């Protein structure tokens, strides 16, 4: 099995910063893309940012210039540094990873349990 565990969410004022972390553990041969998604109440889950195993990144337009995704391959960890937070960033943030559990099987997606980010004064 593979587990993803997020941390770092919380309540922050507009303009503030938070750093989310997500650690993957378990039966892991290789991790491909790692990413962050978010889901606000009444809305669909949306991509926030994704990072490939080589470090290439992609961001939603709404967070470009404010959020930075990074990863530590040795620790199977992905981070999301969120600056200049806005009330519209309020959502549950979910970690996602494409994990190969063996060299003989294709990668499959795994999800964390989510961490709440609330931006409010």
> Which letter does DSSP use for residue 74 in this model?
G
* 121 vs 109: CA distance, rounded Å: 36
Extended strands (E) in the chain: 2-7, 10-12, 18-26, 30-39, 46-51, 57-59, 67-72, 77-82, 91-100, 108-111, 115-119
**pLDDT truncated to tens, each residue of the chain (121 aa)?**
899 999 999 999 999 999 999 999 999 999 999 999 999 999 999 999 999 999 999 999 999 999 999 999 999 999 999 999 999 999 999 999 999 999 998 899 999 999 999 999 9
């Amino acid at each position: 099995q593979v587990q993803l565990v997020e941390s770092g969410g919380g309540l922050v004022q507009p303009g503030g910063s938070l750093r989310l972390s997500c650690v993957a553990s378990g039966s892991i041969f290789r991790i491909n893309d790692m990413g962050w998604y978010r889901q606000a109440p009444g809305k669909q889950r949306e991509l926030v940012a994704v990072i490939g195993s080589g470090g290439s990144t992609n961001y939603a337009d709404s967070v470009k210039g404010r959020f930075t995704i990074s990863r530590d391959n040795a620790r199977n960890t992905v981070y999301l540094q969120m600056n200049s937070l806005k009330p519209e960033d309020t959502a549950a943030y979910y970690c996602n990873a494409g994990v190969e559990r063996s060299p003989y099987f294709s990668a499959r997606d795994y999800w964390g349990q989510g961490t709440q980010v609330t931006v409010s004064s």
